[in-house]
Amino acid sequence: MTSIVRSIAEVHEPLARTWLEEQVARPETMGVLLCGSRATGWALPNGDYDALVFLEPAAYRTLAPEETLIYLHAPDEVPRRVVGDFSLMSEEHLAVHLASPLDIDHWAYLDAIVLFDRRGDLEDWRRRIAAFPEEGWRDRVFQKYFQILVAISYATKSDVAGREAERQINLQRGALAAINLWFALRRRWAPPLKWWTREIERLEIRPDTRAVLEGAALAPTIEMLTHVRDHMKSELRHAGITEVDAVLPAFAASFHPERQAAVYRSQYL
């Protein structure tokens, strides 16, 4: 664990600090958000710095796609070590991320730290994007639970047919659906899964829930995923999601034309 960085002056890697200072000096730079392990305090001592640099739309559109991804390496080190991983974005991306149904577009904003803000509204954007929406929460939770049921069904059919690869693919998908479901139940965006352990520990996951979810991830079997299904069903009941006791009507209702797009978004893992 390292200290959380709260200003460009605290960036200890000279190359990364200089690059950020140069960016904020440019008139087209509207804001800089530090995100990732340096914002959460989870970085290793030699870990890199991740940041989103927001530009005026006109300036952003002058860049070739590859110019928007910046990787800085420590000089004279073998193997090469990344010290800065920076993404140049348009201010328009903020509205895109706010409207996105994908966890990956929101989670980085949860702990992000404003390092520079020319207009004074970047912290407001950060808070709004980080907030988990109450609207559609029940449907989001149910659809992820339903993916566990589908995975068990497909895995069982594949097992009977002797298609081992298909069975394991579906079991892995079921385990991933359960992991995403746990975060949705907590009204929390799921992190990039390289941060699974750190995130569940700071959210104080119950030991029994952690055991079943990690068991399904480490040794996915039909029996294990069935245990996960029953455990998560109990969690949904406790959260007031009564649809788990009438799965077929809830599933059939998802076929209504006006609900199709939302259903597919909620199923995304």
What does the block give as tokens for 36? 């990732």
Which domain covers residue 73, as residue numbers?
8-130
pLDDT-derived band of residue 56, with 50, 70 and 90 as boundaries? Answer: very high
Q: Taking all residues of the chain, what is their mean pLDDT, rounded to a whole number?
A: 93
Of 99, 114, 130, at which residue does a domain stop?
130
- Give me the pLDDT at residue 195, please: 94
Q: Confirm if 197 and 214 have CB atoms less than 8 A apart.
A: no
> Do 104 and 166 share a domain, yes or no?
no
Q: What is the DSSP letter of 111?
A: S
> Do 121 and 151 share a domain, yes or no?
no
> Do 155 and 74 share a domain, yes or no?
no
Percent of the chain with pLDDT over 90: 86
> Do 141 and 126 share a domain, yes or no?
no
Q: Which amino acid is at 243?
A: E
Q: Is the pTM of this model over 0.85?
A: yes
Mean pLDDT, to the nearest integer, of 214-219? 96
Mean pLDDT, to the nearest integer, of 223-237? 97
- Give me the pLDDT at residue 250, please: 73
CA neighbor of 84 nearest in space, from 11, 139, 153: 11
- Give me the pLDDT at residue 264, please: 54
> Do 245 and 174 share a domain, yes or no?
yes
- HSE, CB side, 13 Å, CA atoms: give it for residue 148: 31
> Do 109 and 223 share a domain, yes or no?
no
3-state helix, strand, coil in the chain (%, to 5): 60, 10, 30
Please give the biggest Cα pair distance in the chain: 64
The three-point CA angle 194-195-197 to 5° equals 110
pLDDT over threshold 90, residue 254: no
- Give me the pLDDT at residue 207, please: 98
